[in-house]
Amino acid sequence: MGKLFLEKAFQKELNSGNKIFIPYIMAGDGGIENLIDSLKLLEEAGASAIELGIPFSDPVADGPTIQQAGKRALDNGVNLKQVLDELTVRREEIGIPLVFMTYINPVYKYGIQHFFRRCEEAGVDGVIIPDLPAEHRDLISSPAEEHGIAVIQLATLTSPEERISELAGLSEGFLYAVTINGTTGARSAVNESIGKHLQLLKKYSKVPVLAGFGISTPDHVREMTRDCDGVIVGSRIIELLQEGNFTEMKGLMDAAKMSGVKR
């Protein structure tokens, strides 16, 4: 498990001619007792890895759908410790990488060293902390390295080329390309200029570049993956899980599987 597991899983996917598809769900949405079943369902549908949100009261990067999922999880009493405990016991039931998406406050409160040690024990392979700027990465870099956890950076549309080069050099596992200016959430159309942004990220990144925020249809997936290595889909996946719509969920993931170019 850990950083190397994430890197190998992605390389295997890309070598097979597929693009990477990472669904996002909120841990504890529906209760902590349903977490592993939800992860299994996503793996069965064809996920390359899974991004697992940690419930937090002030999710500044999240749009309405994910905020509501977080509120449902918090209302169920789910917290970081519960998620780590559940994974520690049952992680072996899931055969693909898991990445936490959390904010720095819960990590800091839990104890940074303790958090990364527990992540290793729980089989968490990477972390995304959107409100931790690269300038403060040293707050977590040593314990993350010690416990083999990838620290994934986000690059936005407003990042200048010099900043993109810096972020690409720091990111481990993959580079998260934010494709809209704003919070997460399903949208009807994709930014037409995004291709050039993704190509610029690819120019500098030594790890796969994955596009996220606002991706909600198979056409979006196919469009995005023309210029990058894969996609992350959150709000639409949460909606489909709520609806019990496995067919459409699998259709989203299949769009990535059929978008790859044999290399």
User: Which residues are the active-site residues?
Assistant: 51, 62
DSSP 34: G
Residues 6+ apart with CB under 8 A from 109: none
DSSP 130: T
> How far apart (Å, rounded) are the C-alpha atoms in residues 176 and 199?
13
Torsional sign, CA 190, 96, 235, 84 = negative
Alpha helices (runs of H) in the chain, residue ranges in sequence order: 3-15, 35-45, 64-75, 80-90, 104-110, 112-122, 138-146, 161-170, 194-204, 218-224, 235-243, 246-257
SS3 49: coil
